[in-house]
Chains A and B, each alone.
Chain A
Amino acid sequence: MNFREISGLIFIVGLGLLLFALLKILFVEQLVTGGIGANILATAPEEVGTANIVTSVLLAYRGLDTLGELTILFVAATAAGLVLGQRSSDAKHDPDAGFILHSAADVLFPFLILLGAYIILHGHLTPGGGFQGGAILAAAFFIPILASPASPLNHRVSSAIEGFAGAAFILIGLFGLFGKGDFLAPLFGTGEVGNLFSAGSLPLLYLAVGLKVGAELAGLLAHLHETEAND
């Protein structure tokens, strides 16, 4: 045990005492949002028309934050691609995966696509949405690469999808700005709460989010996978 570990331990114990002292204050109701949450819960079904209120917070009340979040993800994925760089064309690939992963990749691919699309399109009705479904789509496109490492992902197509989805998100926001006076204001009325075609433009926004997250994560995983191992 050296000096660094001992000082780290002392620091952690002190911080722990401080945080546990905060526990007493934390048992006050509505500490963080101060009643905004209750207002949103009461008015969201009529104003926005989503059955899943988290979705209405994400895309309608705090839609600008989601745009910023997508920007952060885009920057992180781009920077990771930039740092990892292009692979040299004569670098050797990992060995092919065995029979089990090969067959499983073929069988799983359509089901994963279906599940991802379902979760994205029902994001305004049930738990789930663009982020979760996007991660599942990325997994669907990554498993075949894992099964046969020599067949690469087409980065051109994934970047095109990503750019298109991001532009669609901003375009829908701009339509809201010119039509209703607010950036990302929901369009097309609310519809009947609980139907698949309801909540105005929110399902379209979530579709854009899902495609963007899926393309970004798939591109990121493929970039990491394409970097040569030197063993």
Chain B
Amino acid sequence: MLVWVVLISVVVMLVAAVAVLFLKDFLAVTAAASVVSLALSVLFVALQAPDVALAEAAVGAGVSSVIFALTLRRVGLWKLETKKDK
């Protein structure tokens, strides 16, 4: 049972990590990085580290993705669609 949980979360994590490196759209890359953090926090729970899992889920998947998204907005890689443009 534990082996399957660990195996599935490692596979999800590695697929998302490859997606981080090779996707073209940077917003999708940010989402994939968030998936890496979430799979990692599942893995931490399976490895009996609930403190670290909470930190990874709150900080790695939450705050870190917001920081990346804000940066993409500031460097012009993510344009907001306003009513005027439509």
Instruction: Please indicate whether A and B come from the same complex rather than being unrelated chains.
Output: yes
Chain A interface residue count, Cβ-Cβ cutoff 8 angstroms:
26
Which chain B residue has the least Cβ–Cβ distance from A220? B67
**Partner-binding segment picked from B12-20, B28-36, B51-59:** B51-59
Interface flag for A169 (CB, 8 Å):
no
Contact A221 B63 (CB under 8 A): yes
Most central of A119, A138, A224, A228 by chain B CB within 10 Å: A224
How many B residues face the partner with a CB closer than 8 A? 19
Q: How far is the CA of A119 from the CA of B54 in the complex (A)?
A: 10
Partner of A132, one of B54, B74, B79, B80: B54
A142 to B64, CA, bound (A): 13
Among listed A22-30, A35-43, A123-131, interface-contacting one: A123-131
Report Cα–Cα, A136/B59, bound state, in Å.
8
**Contact: B63 with A132, CB < 8 Å?**
no
> Would A139 and B62 count as touching, CB distance under 8 A?
yes
Encoded as 1 (CB less than 8 Å from any B CB) or 0, chain A from 44 to 78 comes to 00000000101100000000000000000000000
**Is there contact, CB below 8 Å, between B59 and A131?**
yes
Verify if A229 is at the interface (C-beta below 8 Å from B): yes
A residues 177-224 with Cβ under 8 Å of B?
217, 220-221, 224
- Taking CB as reference atom, which chain A residue is nearest B56? A132
B51 in contact with A229 (CB, 8 Å): no
Instruction: Out of A136, A142, A227, A228, name the residue touching B66 (CB < 8 Å).
Output: A142
Given A52, A129, A217, A229, which contacts B63 in the complex, CB threshold below 8 Å?
A217
Q: A95-B80, A229-B74, A230-B76 are in contact. Are A224 and B67 (CB under 8 A)?
A: yes
A52: chain B residues within 8 A (beta carbon): 51
Q: Is the CB of B63 within 8 A of A138?
A: yes
Q: Which of A94, A227, A231 has the largest count of B CB atoms less than 10 A from its CB?
A: A231
A128 CA to B55 CA, complexed, in Å: 7
Binding site for B on A (CB under 8 A): 52, 54-55, 94-95, 119, 127-129, 131-132, 135-136, 138-139, 142, 217, 220-221, 224-225, 227-231
Across the A-B interface, the 7 shortest Cβ-Cβ residue pairs: A127-B50, A135-B58, A224-B70, A132-B54, A135-B59, A54-B51, A127-B51
Known: A139-B58, A229-B76. 6 other contacts (CB 8 A): A94-B73, A129-B51, A135-B59, A225-B70, A228-B74, A231-B79
Q: Can you give 24 contacting A-B residue pairs, CB < 8 Å?
A: A54-B51, A55-B51, A95-B80, A127-B50, A127-B53, A127-B54, A128-B51, A128-B54, A129-B51, A131-B55, A131-B59, A132-B51, A132-B59, A135-B55, A135-B58, A139-B58, A142-B66, A221-B66, A221-B70, A224-B74, A227-B74, A228-B74, A229-B73, A230-B76
Which residues of B come within 8 Å of A, CB atoms?
A: 50-51, 53-55, 58-59, 62-63, 66-67, 70-71, 73-74, 76, 79-80, 82
